[in-house]
Amino acid sequence: MVKFEDYLRSKTNNSIKTLSSFCGIKKTENPKWKGWAILNELKRKGMPLCSEHLDILVYNFYSLKYISGKLYL
């Protein structure tokens, strides 16, 4: 089985960070992800699309995917 750290790295390294796709999380597939509200707020304030809260949400998103066995590498 793939280690979680490797799985997370494969999903987030060199990934697009926009308002419709962030670190491999697509808004069309995951519209209820809480990160979209943070991204919209950062954009509204003219700030870069990065924050500690987003990092935690991305980590948690992929933790759940990994634990549930939905490994789409």
Please give the angle made by the CA atoms of 37, 9 and 69, to the nearest 5 degrees.
85
Task: Taking residues 2-24, report their average pLDDT.
Answer: 89
In this prediction the pTM is: 0.86
Q: What is the pLDDT of residue 73?
A: 47
Dump pLDDT digits (tens) for 14-53.
Answer: 888 889 999 999 999 999 999 999 999 999 999 999 999 9
Residue 73 located in a structural domain? no
In this structure, are residues 33 and 57 in contact, taking their beta carbons and an 8 Å threshold?
Answer: yes
Residue 17 located in a structural domain? yes
For the cut 90, the answer to whether the pLDDT of residue 8 exceeds it is yes
Q: How many CB atoms lie within 10 A of CB 29?
A: 8
For the cut 90, the answer to whether the pLDDT of residue 69 exceeds it is no
Containing H/E element for 21? strand 21-22
Q: What is the pLDDT of residue 15?
A: 81
Q: How many structural domains does the chain have?
A: 1
Its domain, for residue 10, covers 4-67
- The first and second tokens of residue 32, run together, are 């209820």
